[in-house]
């Protein structure tokens, strides 16, 4: 059975899970339109995930994807964290605020969150996807036994091989063009920074798993190109940020729709892990001391953005976007799926 048949998709398209931006409403609209909608529960706990899954299920009977962060547990380092806060202090002061007294790890990895795993096994959503790493063999077995289709992001051949060896069903080849966090398993390790085209081809040639291409794909031409490379589908994030169903705030939408969309940059400064964002005051900071581990650094980043926003400065937001950002079209998610379907049909004649 092909990937599309298994998930009953009428278009080879996954709306990317986007923590803080994609919503149950968006996922349901996309799934109802025949693509695979995704929610990201990496930034919430089991109770929050339960609610989000229920909300999707209330709005669609079709397959959808639930995405988790599977990062290695951060190592707290009081000295590094204090130095980081001190370095940011003048910026906080600009907005009449102070950095948090102590930085916390704001997201729990699935590796540590047993309640989340039990919830997933109990709920058995049609698809579960992993970012930043792979869960335990036990977790993979438990989800597979419940019939869940498993996806994992990979930014290199080695990560894809690890996913295949672990029992993942489909690998998401995330190129350097992609918006949001790079899914690399070890942010301190070497990064060949492969583009979507080369990575997709490498993984397709390897033939380990079906490949979904992600990064810089914005329209039907891009989906067609991914399929021509041998991918079974395209995963698109930035293209959906401007949809009315997204949780993006007005400043993010305006930045994406403006000339700033031509300038994305990869930075670890906001969260502690490399992520691609629209260039802004935060991404432009330089001369920083060593960063706290992800997601401890993100505690400071979010606090700085909140302080700045409260004073009307939007230049410290995590405005994640991929290199294709200027090609984004703001329209309802279901309509975007239909436009993509028509464009794809033109290119695949």
By the rule CB under 6 A, 267 interacts with ligand FMN = no
Q: Is 322 near ligand FMN (CB under 6 A)?
A: yes
Asked if 283 touches ligand FMN (CB under 6 A), the answer is: no
Q: Tokens at residue 211, please?
A: 């490949």
Binding flag, residue 236, ligand FMN (CB under 6 A): yes
Both ends of the chain: CA-CA distance in Å? 23
Q: How many CB atoms lie within 10 A of CB 206?
A: 14
Q: Indicate whether 320 belongs to the interface with ligand FMN (CB under 6 A).
A: yes
Beta carbon of residue 311, minimum distance to ligand FMN (angstroms, whole number)? 24
Q: What is the residue-wise DSSP string for 44-64?
A: S-HHHHHHHHHHHHHH-SS-E
Q: How many CA atoms lie within 13 A of 168 on its CB side?
A: 28
Residues with Cβ within 8 Å of residue 145, at least 6 apart in sequence: none
Binding part of the chain for ligand FMN, among 13-21, 280-288, 291-299, 334-342 by CB under 6 A, reads 13-21
Please give the Cα distance from 306 to 47 (Å, whole number): 24
Residue 264 binds ligand FMN (CB under 6 A): no
Count of beta carbons in the 10 Å neighbourhood of residue 141: 11
> Does the protein bind ligand FMN through residue 187 (CB under 6 A)?
no
Contact between 23 and ligand FMN by CB under 6 A: the answer reads no
- 238 lines the binding site for ligand FMN (CB under 6 A): yes
Tally of helices (H runs) and strands (E runs) in the chain: 13, 11
Please tell me whether residue 65 binds ligand FMN under the rule CB under 6 A. Answer: no
Helix, strand, coil share of the chain (percent; to 5): 40, 15, 45
Rounded to a whole number of angstroms, the minimum distance from the CB of residue 48 to ligand FMN is 13
Binding ligand FMN (rule: CB under 6 A), the pick from 37, 125, 187, 215 is: 215
The DSSP-derived string for 98-130 is: ---SS----S--TTT-HHHHHHHHHH--SEEEE
Among the listed residues 156, 174, 280, 283, the single contact to ligand FMN using CB under 6 A: 174
**For residues 244 and 255, what is the distance between their CA atoms, to the nearest angstrom?**
15
> Site mask, ligand FMN, residues 137-156, x = CB under 6 A?
----------------x---
CB-nearer residue toward ligand FMN: 97 or 157: 157
Interface size with ligand FMN, residues (CB under 6 A): 29
Interface residue with ligand FMN among 35, 52, 119, 217 (CB under 6 A) is 217
Q: How far is the CB of 305 from ligand FMN (least distance, A)?
A: 14
- Alpha helices by DSSP H, the chain: 3-6, 24-32, 46-59, 78-94, 114-123, 137-145, 157-166, 196-206, 220-228, 238-241, 250-257, 296-310, 333-347
The one among 19, 56, 160, 199 contacting ligand FMN by CB under 6 A = 19
User: Looking at beta carbons only, is 85 or 280 nearer to ligand FMN?
Assistant: 280
What is the phi/psi pair of residue 88, to 5°? -85, -15
Q: Please report, to the nearest 10 degrees, the dihedral formed by the alpha carbons of residues 38, 106, 156, 5 taken in order.
A: -20
Out of 179, 187, 292, 295, the residue judged to bind ligand FMN by CB under 6 A: 179
Return the residue of 177, 219, 245, 293 that touches ligand FMN, per CB under 6 A. 177
Interface with ligand FMN (CB under 6 A): 16-19, 21, 40, 42, 67, 131, 153, 174, 177-180, 214-217, 235-239, 241, 320-322, 324
């Amino acid at each position: 059975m092909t990937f599309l048949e298994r998930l009953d998709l009428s278009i080879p398209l996954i709306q990317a899970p986007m923590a803080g931006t994609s919503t149950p409403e968006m996922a349901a609209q996309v799934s109802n339109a025949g693509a695979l909608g995704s929610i990201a529960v990496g930034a919430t706990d089991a109770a929050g995930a339960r609610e989000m899954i229920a909300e999707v299920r209330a709005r669609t009977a079709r397959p959808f994807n639930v995405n988790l962060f599977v990062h290695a547990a951060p190592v707290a380092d009081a000295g590094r964290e204090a130095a980081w806060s001190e370095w940011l202090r003048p910026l906080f002061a600009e907005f009449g605020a102070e950095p948090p007294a102590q930085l916390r790890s704001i997201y729990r990895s699935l590796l540590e969150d047993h309640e989340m795993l039990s919830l997933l096994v109990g709920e058995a959503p049609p698809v579960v996807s992993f970012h930043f790493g792979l869960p335990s063999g036990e977790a993979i077995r438990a989800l597979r036994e419940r019939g869940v289709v498993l996806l994992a992001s990979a930014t290199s051949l080695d990560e894809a091989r690890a996913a295949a060896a672990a029992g993942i069903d489909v690998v998401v080849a995330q190129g350097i063009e992609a918006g949001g966090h790079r899914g690399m398993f070890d942010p301190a390790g070497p990064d060949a920074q492969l583009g979507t085209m080369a990575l997709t081809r490498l993984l397709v040639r390897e033939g380990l798993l079906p490949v979904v291409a992600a990064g810089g794909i914005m329209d039907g031409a891009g989906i067609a190109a991914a399929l021509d490379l041998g991918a079974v589908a395209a995963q698109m994030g930035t293209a959906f940020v401007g949809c009315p169903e997204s949780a993006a705030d007005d400043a993010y939408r305006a930045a994406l729709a403006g000339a700033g969309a031509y300038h994305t940059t990869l930075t670890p400064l906001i969260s502690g892990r490399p992520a691609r964002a629209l260039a802004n005051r935060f991404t432009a900071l330089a001369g920083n001391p060593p960063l706290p581990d992800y997601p401890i650094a993100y505690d400071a980043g979010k606090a700085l953005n909140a302080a700045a926003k409260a004073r009307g400065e939007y230049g410290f937001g995590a405005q994640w976007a991929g290199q294709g950002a200027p090609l984004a079209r703001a329209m309802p998610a279901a309509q975007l799926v239909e436009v993509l379907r028509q464009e794809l049909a033109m290119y695949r004649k």
